Chains A and B, each alone.
Chain A
Amino acid sequence: MISLSHLTKKYGAFTAVDDLTVDVREGEVLGLLGPNGAGKTTTMRMVTGFLPPSKGRVSVAGFDLYDHPIQAKRKIGYLPEQPPLYPDMTVRKYLAYVAALKDVPAARTKAAVSLAIERARIGGAADARISTLSKGYRQRVGLAQAIVHEPPVLVLDEPTSSLDPQQRSDVRQLILDLKGRHTIILSTHILPEVSDVADRVVIISRGKVMAVDTPANLAGRLRAGASVRLEIGAGAGGLTVTPERVREALAALPGVLDVHAAIGAAGVITARIDSAVGVDVRAEAAALVTGRGWPLLGLSSDALSLEEVFLALTRDEREGAA
């Protein structure tokens, strides 16, 4: 449905996107994951025909974006990072305007606008001025704008960034609802987000593809990035738990690379365990702590930060090369 081949964007000596090749099958949701400045937005802009690539080709629904830009653009719905809204228009007028730009026949515009409003769940604000809407609502209007002409392809650039957690989960749910109706490319810098919605993930860093895989496989490969946090009560009931003893005990577990432990003001020892690739130490750590009679107050697995994902990925590559 979407095919990027050897897509490259250079700004002078700086290469924003470097030789990106990927095919997206019909109905698939492809997640584009990378830190800020990795080239996600540049890639999205090339896929939608906003930016001309320095090299390489994009084809959407069988139309080459360079040879047939008008036909290809009709097939795309695009939500840029900043939703392209006119604050002085009402939601309904705005969507009708976008529908006209996207060549929705005038006779069908009204129905198309109503359907987009329904699917983006903005019925309550349909006749409000966009300037009066909250950020989450604006994002949904942006989403409605992208689907108003029922394009086979949807390109969503960081659709949930800058939203609060509730709005974020709402928008994520909307995207899940759109799944199946559209082929979707979606970019984000938040890992759990991609694993929720994407069938396949492309990880890019500094414009280069680091990995292409399903979220499950990636998560398996990237377990190394996880760290476990334990909270242990110290000093209660005459116990003599010290950070040193915790560290010593936990470091002896198999697969543990490093342990940091410190005591907080409330008499709680916080320990952070970094473990090796593919090792989950949560069960063993909990058993060890409770086995010694130390009060285990909390245990959590920190979400993978992208930083750690990349460190893990590049470490794998270095090891593979050695």
Chain B
Amino acid sequence: MRHALVIARREIESYFVSPIAYAVITVFTFVSGLFFSNMLVHYVRQAALADAQIQKFGRSDLQLDVPTVVLAQFFQNEAFLLMLAVPLLTMGLVTDERRKGTLELLMTSPVRGIEIVSGKFLGAMAFLALMLVPLVPMFAFMGAGGNWEAGVIASGLLGLLLLGGAQIALGLLVSSLCENMLVSAIGTYGLIVTLQFLDTGGAAGGSIWTRLLGSLSFYARHLNSTRGVVAAADIVYFASWIALGLFLAQRSVEALRYKRS
């Protein structure tokens, strides 16, 4: 697997000279901050209102644990943002190598297909992890108010990495199928937005099939992690998507050699 790390390292370095990556990380951080401060202000007001009600009437329906609620909402919003950001990070993974002709270098080197796709995957994952770093000051800001909720934060971040990992693996697969970066990005949007909202069809009860399909939804599976629940089933679920995406991407990359170019 030494080759995978070599490829991952080059991938990370190439992100840092890519204007797309800088744009993605900047916008992601800005919008994350916007969501965070808006929600914090909203719920702190609610809490203040609740306190006032308790003082006046002795009870309140609004009682809530601000950090927990804010974090849960925040991580759900982040999942939505990831859905928008990831296709821009994965669209070039294989497509760009094909365009530059460097895929020929990789495929004629003593490197296995699985090492190529794992390297690409790890490179994109590392960048994703880096994107999450600017969120830490926001948590620290909230922590300064008294309550860190470290468990919820850890589980939320893990959830984002798992969700992002599944999105990246699928983006990698789509990228290996496309000759054009824009098509690759659009295709990935189609795939991961569909998976994100698979459960909406089964929301109104529905048959066993719609519920089964709904249970495959990214959104439903990601929800636990936003509330501080780390469930083995969720980890297995996202890991399975990652494994499937990487396996198919590897097959697809190998198959590129059979295409006439």
Binding site for B on A (CB under 8 A): 11, 45, 48-52, 69-71, 73-74, 76, 78, 80, 82-89, 93, 97-98, 100-103, 145
Residues of B close to A48: CB separation below 8 A: 108
Residues of A close to B110: CB separation below 8 A: 69-71, 73-74, 101-103
Residues of A close to B103: CB separation below 8 A: 84
| A84 B14 Cβ-Cβ under 8 A | no
Known A51-B257, A52-B257, A70-B112: A84·B104 in contact at CB below 8 Å? yes
Q: CB of B209 within 8 A of chain A?
A: no
* Nearest chain B CB to A244 CB, angstrom units: 53
| A88 B14 Cβ-Cβ under 8 A | yes
Known A52-B258, A101-B6: A84·B105 in contact at CB below 8 Å? yes
Instruction: Report the contact-size class of chain B (Cβ under 8 Å from the partner).
Output: 20 to 34
Choose one: B13, B101, B111; the contact of A80 (CB below 8 Å).
B101
Residues of B close to A82: CB separation below 8 A: 101
| A49 B14 Cβ-Cβ under 8 A | no
Tell me, in angstroms, the Cα distance from A71 to B110 when the chains sit together. 7
Binding site for A on B (CB under 8 A): 2-3, 6-7, 10, 13-14, 17-18, 100-112, 257-258, 260
Choose one: B2, B108, B112; the contact of A50 (CB below 8 Å).
B108
* Nearest chain A CB to B223 CB, angstrom units: 39
* Nearest chain B CB to A110 CB, angstrom units: 15
Residues of A close to B258: CB separation below 8 A: 51-52
Residues of B close to A52: CB separation below 8 A: 257-258
* Nearest chain A CB to B259 CB, angstrom units: 9
| A86 B100 Cβ-Cβ under 8 A | yes
Residues of A close to B18: CB separation below 8 A: 88
Choose one: B101, B112, B257; the contact of A84 (CB below 8 Å).
B101
| A50 B3 Cβ-Cβ under 8 A | no
| A49 B102 Cβ-Cβ under 8 A | no
Choose one: A85, A93, A101; the contact of B111 (CB below 8 Å).
A101
Choose one: A51, A80, A89, A101; the contact of B109 (CB below 8 Å).
A101
Residues of B close to A86: CB separation below 8 A: 10, 14, 100, 102
Residues of B close to A70: CB separation below 8 A: 110, 112
* Nearest chain B CB to A130 CB, angstrom units: 10
Tell me, in angstroms, the Cα distance from A87 to B17 when the chains sit together. 10
Residues of B close to A103: CB separation below 8 A: 110
* Nearest chain B CB to A109 CB, angstrom units: 11
Tell me, in angstroms, the Cα distance from A45 to B107 when the chains sit together. 10
| B3 A49 Cβ-Cβ under 8 A | no
Residues of A close to B105: CB separation below 8 A: 78, 80, 84, 98, 101, 145
Residues of A close to B109: CB separation below 8 A: 73, 98, 101-102
| A85 B257 Cβ-Cβ under 8 A | no
Show 24 A/B contacts (Cβ-Cβ < 8 Å), sorted by A.
Answer: A50-B107, A51-B258, A52-B258, A73-B108, A73-B109, A74-B110, A76-B108, A78-B104, A78-B105, A80-B105, A82-B101, A84-B100, A84-B102, A85-B100, A88-B14, A88-B18, A93-B13, A97-B6, A100-B6, A101-B6, A101-B109, A102-B109, A102-B110, A103-B110
Tell me, in angstroms, the Cα distance from A86 to B6 when the chains sit together. 14
Known A51-B257, A86-B14, A97-B10: A78·B102 in contact at CB below 8 Å? no
| B3 A100 Cβ-Cβ under 8 A | yes
Tell me, in angstroms, the Cα distance from A102 to B112 when the chains sit together. 12
Tell me, in angstroms, the Cα distance from A275 to B214 when the chains sit together. 81
> Which residue on chain A has the smallest CB distance to residue B18?
A88
> Which residue on chain B has the smallest CB distance to residue A42?
B260
> Which residue on chain A has the smallest CB distance to residue B111?
A101
10 closest A-B pairs by CB: A84-B105, A101-B109, A82-B101, A84-B102, A100-B6, A48-B108, A73-B110, A88-B17, A70-B110, A74-B110
Residues of A close to B106: CB separation below 8 A: 101
Residues of A close to B108: CB separation below 8 A: 48-50, 73, 76, 78
| B104 A80 Cβ-Cβ under 8 A | yes
* Nearest chain B CB to A38 CB, angstrom units: 15
Tell me, in angstroms, the Cα distance from A87 to B101 when the chains sit together. 11
Known: A51-B258, A84-B104. 11 other contacts (CB 8 A): A50-B257, A70-B110, A74-B110, A78-B104, A78-B108, A84-B100, A84-B103, A84-B105, A97-B10, A101-B3, A101-B6
Tell me, in angstroms, the Cα distance from A88 to B21 when the chains sit together. 14
Tell me, in angstroms, the Cα distance from A28 to B106 when the chains sit together. 26
Tell me, in angstroms, the Cα distance from A101 to B102 when the chains sit together. 12
Known A70-B110, A102-B109: A50·B14 in contact at CB below 8 Å? no
Residues of A close to B10: CB separation below 8 A: 86, 89, 97
| A11 B100 Cβ-Cβ under 8 A | no
Residues of A close to B13: CB separation below 8 A: 89, 93
Tell me, in angstroms, the Cα distance from A11 to B2 when the chains sit together. 35
